[in-house]
Every structure is written in C-alpha cells, then in structure tokens.
Amino acid sequence: MCFKYMSLRNPERLLEIVYRHQLYAPTINELNDIKEGYVRFSSTISNDDKKTLLRRLYNETYVVSTTCETKSFNGHMFAIYGDCHKGCCLKFYVTSLLKTNIRCDVPWIEKKVDYDSKIKEISKIDDDTIADILKIKSKQWKDESEIRYIKTIDKGKRPYLKIKLLGIYFGVKVSKRVFNMYNAFIKGFDKNIDVKHLTNKDIDFGFEDE
C-alpha cells in the first residue's frame, strides 16, 4: 500500500488522478531536492559513458515518490507536501508493470529509498545503475520512509504511473465547503473511493502523550 501527500492548489491535478487512476511522473530536475541524481564516478568509467548516463538520468528518467504504509497520517508530511494541511493524502496501490513482460515493455523499477550521508560512487554501469542512484537520499529525508517508482525511456511521451486509487483524505485546514465540493465529485465518479475530512485525532504529530 502506498500514500502520497499533495497540494490542492491545482485542482485539475487531483481530478485527473481520480478520473484516470494515474500519477504524474516528474523528471529529476522537477524534484524538490537539488542533490537528486548527484553521483561520483570512479576512474573506471569513461567520459563518454559518464555523459550518456547523465543524459539519460536527467533527461529520460521519471520518478514517482510515495511513502510506505502507515497506521496514521503523518503531520510532518502533511505540512510539507500537503500544503500545511490544506491539501490531501492519496491511498493507493500500483498497477503499472513492475517486471518485464513477454512484449519486453519497459517496466517501472520499485526502490525503497536508502538514507545515507555519503554520495554514491559509480564503478560500473548496467541496467540498474540509474535506479540505484535515485534510491539514495541524504539522511535529512529519512523520516519520509520513501518508496520510489523509476522509469528510464527514450525521450518521447512522458510515462504515468498507473494506480488503483483507494482513498483520498483531506487535511484539517481544508474548508468544509471545499471538502464537500471534492467529495461530491469523487463519489459521483467512483463510490468505491474512500473520502474523509481528517481531524487532528486522525494525524500523528509525533507527541507520545497524544
């Protein structure tokens, strides 16, 4: 099971997720960590191989970030990615291809992020190198318990991560009027999607005495 916190500043984004059951996949340059994809190369890697890898990494690779299954909603994640509790959290599972099939379609690669204080050094390049680069993040991000879905394809049509949307949970600062508007649309389109307006009791703010 996966969760993803998001803003409601662009309503079309959420409505498209409800309608199409798919998530937008940004390139590395669209992510919020300026150190994404930062690597060191060992002396065994030629300059031509470095250029090819970096071109594919920054121009032809797409990443969808999610957080692992959790028993309660995360106050920190809602504050950072859910627009200070004025956004929502999606609950879903991934339906996109995660393994190569008989047609040899390019699958998404699922990686649980490792948090490290050392920049990854590349000593060889193979089919997993880009995903292995992107599964490393600084320890500053470790509270996010992130799972990434990564896909590298020749430049062309942007891929979307296909999902089965199970629930949409709106932050405590979303107004009742706005919640009711989204709820009516979502339930009118798919009654099986769980929709809830959260309260403070639904959210883990990290205090032991709560």
Concatenated DSSP letters of 83-133: TTTTSEEEEEEE-S--S--TT-PPPPEEEEPEEESS--EES---TTHHHHH
Structural domain for 176, as ranges: 2-204
Helix (H) or strand (E) holding 170: strand 160-170
Q: In this structure, is residue 124 part of a structural domain?
A: yes
Q: In this structure, is residue 194 part of a structural domain?
A: yes
Predicted model pTM: 0.90
When divided into structural domains, the chain yields a total of: 1
* Residue 101, phi then psi, degrees to nearest 5: -105, -175
Q: In this structure, is residue 209 part of a structural domain?
A: no
pLDDT in tens, the chain (210 residues): 899 999 999 999 999 999 999 999 999 999 988 888 888 999 999 999 999 999 999 999 999 999 986 667 989 999 999 999 999 999 999 999 887 776 667 899 999 999 998 888 999 898 889 999 999 999 988 888 899 999 999 877 889 999 999 999 999 999 999 999 999 999 999 999 999 999 999 998 878 765
